[in-house]
A and B are shown apart, each in its own frame.
Chain A
Amino acid sequence: MWAELAVTAAKLLVVATVLLTCVPIMVWVERRGAAFIQDRLGPNRVGPMGLLQPVIDAVKLFFKEDLTPGGVNPILYTLAPMVSMFVALVTFIVIPFSADAGVEVFGVPLKGIHVAPDLGVGVLYLLAISSLGVYGIVLAGWSSNNKYSLLGGLRSSAQLLSYELSLTMSVLGVVLVSGTLNLQEVIGRQGPEIWKWHAVTQPIGFIVFLVAAFAETNRLPFDLAEAETELVAGYHVEYSSMRFASFFMSEYINIVTISALTVTLFLGGWQVPWLTATLSGWPLLLVSAGAFAAKVALLLWLFVWVRWSLPRFRYDQLMQLGWKGLLPLAALNLLIVGMAMGQGWL
């Protein structure tokens, strides 16, 4: 038992470290990517190609004054960034980053690089925990005692609730075909060939999921909660130093999580067509983890690309798209999937 606990603890440590390391890399990619798209140079002074820029940004945030403005609700004001970070960090444990390669380390079965991918209700767990993320934003917006924060918080709670519906509905199609909520099995049912991946068999569901994912992570074109041009910075306008950084980091971690979930549900997870089926042991572990990372990286670039290509939606357009566009489409996808399954095509 102690050996298993130690292995789980080590995996948690590795996964959390990789996750938190993704944040500065993602920030660098975002800033350089933005510059590339806008035909500028971007940060290029600190380190080779500006790679150390996020590091000194982090140091700067550490040494800034941690300000608590007057008139805020001190309990909730402190709680809000913690809730955001908590939600961002615990969703990750069910995502299978690699195959169950059956390898051992010092005689202890390691299986793969993941913490608890065999949770029977993996998909539900992920959706449930990430639905708690809205509390961080709403509490920050309300407790700051600032009208811009409050507006950002209210907008965001309405937006997250609306798009959560479409997100869940589009996942239902995948669950229906897979017949399981276990994420590792969802990957297994997708088969090694590309045309058996859910992104190919359920294109409508895939698109709905992707759009809802942008809205759920508060990214442009759906970043109404922040909307610098009208709300200064939205819900986190009063926060400084590491409390601001908590919101910032949890936003980027959420992007990584939702990308990993997209890869797992729709893009065949860690599978490489025709290659991973022939491997076993350590090569399988390494190749599958590498494939997963590569797919996630592609999606992360998509997030950056879209952010600097599309303008922000107006609030009524956002709600229209969510309720009148995505939700019916998700229902249509479910209908098509059900009929296709009835015909025995899926």
Chain B
Amino acid sequence: MELAVFFAAAVVAVATGVVAVAHRNPVINVMSLVVTFFCVAVCYALLAAPFLAAAQILVYAGAILVLFLFVVMLLNAPLAESDQPRKLQRIFGLAAAALVGLGGAALAVVAIPGAGEGVVEGTAAAIGRLLVGPHLLAFELVSVLLLAALVGAMVLVKRKA
């Protein structure tokens, strides 16, 4: 049962991922990415990490990509020209894809010593304890970083006007 759900989610995620890169219409790109994120969230849920799954949908699919869509529509971006990528681009792209694919396949076949140790439960309570416990400093640093980005955006907007 879980295996069937996983394979369904995985196949859809990969397929929509390809569409997100390959399709010429930017709005369809964004919508495919939404479906990809949704399927990834399903995989998180299967891995007994419900909090991550919900956060994935809430933050990425529900907020960030809406902003993407908003920008694409406001600019009314034209269909992408079917220009040929440069030769070097193509070589590097294929190499990177092959590396990631082979690495993933290797991870699936070879057992890594020490993998699975120290895995935390994916519930909201467990993640919350980690965030305000051992990782408090990193957590606060991220919030300061976001604040800096916000202030930076304000400065850029004000300078133009």
Contacts and interface: CB of A to CB of B under 8 A. Distances in A.
Contacts of B50: 119-121, 125
Interface stretch (B67-75, B104-112, B146-154): B67-75
Chain B, interface size category, equals 20 to 34
A341 to B, nearest CB: 15
A76 B70 contact: no
Contacts of A181: 124
Q: Which of A121, A131, A158 is packed against the most chain B CB atoms within 10 Å?
A: A121
A161 B63 CA distance: 7
B12 interface: no
Interface in B18-53: 25, 27-28, 31, 34, 50-51, 53
B57 A128 contact: yes
Nearest to A161: B66
Contacts of B51: 120-121, 124
B86 to A, nearest CB: 31
A164 B70 CA distance: 16
A138 B66 contact: yes
Contacts of A157: 66, 69-70
A120 to B, nearest CB: 5
A154 B73 contact: yes
Contacts of B54: 121, 124-125, 127-128
Interface of B: 25, 27-28, 31, 34, 50-51, 53-55, 57-58, 61-63, 66-67, 69-70, 73-74, 123-124
Interface residues of A, number: 28
A126 to B, nearest CB: 9
B69 A135 contact: yes
A131 B62 contact: yes
B28 A131 contact: no
Given A121-B54, A128-B55, A138-B69, 17 more contacts: A76-B31, A120-B51, A120-B124, A121-B53, A124-B54, A124-B124, A128-B58, A129-B57, A131-B57, A131-B61, A132-B61, A132-B62, A135-B66, A142-B27, A154-B74, A157-B66, A161-B63
A76 B28 contact: yes
Q: Which of A73, A75, A132, A161 is packed against the most chain B CB atoms within 10 Å?
A: A132
A79 interface: yes
Q: Which of B53, B61, B66, B74 is packed against the most chain A CB atoms within 10 Å?
A: B66
29 contacts: A75-B28, A76-B28, A76-B31, A120-B124, A121-B51, A121-B53, A121-B123, A124-B51, A124-B55, A127-B54, A128-B58, A128-B61, A131-B63, A131-B66, A132-B61, A134-B62, A135-B34, A135-B66, A138-B69, A138-B73, A142-B73, A150-B73, A154-B70, A154-B74, A157-B69, A157-B70, A161-B63, A161-B67, A164-B62
A119 B62 CA distance: 20
Nearest to B49: A121
B57 A139 contact: no
